[in-house]
Structure 1
Amino acid sequence: MPLLFTGFNAFGQHECISRDVDCAAGFSEINAPVSTQNQCTISIGFRYAALAFGRKLWLRGLLDDGPNECVTLKAAGDIKALAAGDSHCLVLLESGQLYRVQPKLQAELLVVRLEAPPRSNSGTKRSFFGAPKAPSSPIIEHIACGSHINVAVSSENAVFSIPSCLHQFAERQFRVKQLQCGHEHAVLLNVNGDVFTWGNGLRGQLGQPVLKVEETPQLMEALAGIKITQIAAGGWHSAAISAFGDLYTWGLNCSGQLGMRVMKPGGFLKEPTVYPLPQLQDLPECGCSKEAKSNEHDDDDCAPLRVFAGSRHTLLTRRCGRLWASGWCQHGP
């Protein structure tokens, strides 16, 4: 399956087969070493892109002196996830081991040493001879990066602001389903459909009634009782999809990234607005429903499926396969 790209590409983050520098006219195919045996993992930063197949990792873009620079590395095991930040890229292996790499031509994978989470009330684990056992290294399951935030979650539900452990969910039944980061905030979804946020919330991106900084994960009370199935975190905004097929957005709406166009009296566009609480979006009718010639078409066929958030834009895929976008689009649709 080919990889497609659209948008800003001035640093050569992607080597498009068409050789276009900016793919603003639409989607272009990426000249990538696609493998049929390993799943592709990709993460995109502002000046570079990270791409992984199996144990191999490619970094491409503005790495040292100019655009279109590329470096290839090999990890100790198969790569599970990538999170590209401004100064480094987090690399998570299937084994749960976490590495970081700087986007440079002389890049190397370095092990991330994480602070041990607080001990449980079960007491100190000891060996057969009674000697206390050294705490084992956390097994990481989820990672995410923003411009000013780096987060990891372990198999024991410890939340790390890398490398420090800032919180641990006590419930054994608690399981993390998804973790996302914006520029300065993080959004976490558990398997029960509850949403937790923390970080800088001065632009409403945390979905909390008070605009402030939250040091530890806080439950989003505004979505309590609504089972959320998917989340996204953009620059200073966030989004979520519920099990009922509803789309919620909140945070900064400076470029219409929340999917709302607020007008002043007289028809003038209102200045950038902050929406600190989730806003239920009334999605426009999908074009495929108009094209359906039979009565077999169900509205659920066009319900929101997945949502993605960039710095100042939001993408939504619907069950019918159509892609919708809102927000800033200077470098492409």
Structure 2
Amino acid sequence: TDERIAQLLVPEMSGFRDELAILDSKHSETLKLLGETKRDAEQLNDDFQGFEKRYESQHQMDVKTMGHTSQKLAELGSMLKYTDDRLQTQTDHLKTTTAMVKALKTKVTNVEHDLQQTSMQSCDTSNILRDHLEKYQALEELVERIKKACGGDEETRKRGSVWVAVDALKLRVQGNSDEIKDLREVDVGHSDELAVERERTDDILKGMATHQDQIRALSDQIGMELAKSAMQCRMEDRLKTWSIIAKMRCTGEKVDSHQSDLQRVGEQLASMMKQLELTKSEVQKTQDRLESTNKQLCDVSSGLELTQEYWQGLSKGLRETHKSVTVENCLLPPARGAGVTMLPIISKTPRTSQKLAH
């Protein structure tokens, strides 16, 4: 029996042993999977904690942003209120200006009327002056005729201003005549001196002609030419060459100085171009800022217009409500009297009287 049991148990034990080996291998694989799962869980926990931290920081940033937004909205509300007050002030100023313009228009109308009257008076005055001028001209002609009729006696000449002026003119003419005579005498003296000088000039010219004849004779005798010698020509050529070299050297120095000036100007121009580029970029940035500011102003203006429309509608509703309350004295329907009832009235007939009696 023991052998039988051993024979039966040995195969089963070997099978159990194989199954245990398989279980051990699976258990080791399970342990590996559990380790990987643990690592993944730890990584997931770390990621979740990091997410919580990021979420907390983002939440704080959102809270700060909302706080800033609320503050800006409050500031915009105060700015809108200030703008509304300014608009009301400007409206009052416009009303005052309109009244002043009306008064000024009245004054201008009065001034135009006064100018028209003044122009009419000036026309009348010009007509009167024209009449007086004609009368004055007639009086002048009469005075001239009287002067001619009075004659030219000595007393009349002394009394008349015209004769005094004529005498003064005669004296001036006589003085000018004396000066002309003196000038003629001086001219005659200069003419005599010119004649003497002309004679001396003629003598000098004759002497020069004689000397020239003598020089020609000497040249013919000696065999010398009046032309320049070869040495003198060479010296002049050398002097010309030296002067040309000096001029070229001076010109080269001037060209070098001009080149240095041009180089310096080019450097200054390059620096100015760089500054211009920087200024251009700054101007572009300023333009961008201005555009953003204009956009914000447009948004604020649109919000202000909406606010004004809202306030206008609200004020209109309040005015209508006030008007209805003021006109009708109440918002409820009028109260009924004591004898008024809402039930229908039953007419009295013999049949209805009997029913009511029962």
Q: What's the TM-score, normalizing by structure 1?
A: 0.14
Which structure carries more helix by proportion?
2
CA radius of gyration, larger in:
2
TM-score (norm 2): 0.13
Structure 1 or 2: more strand by fraction: 1
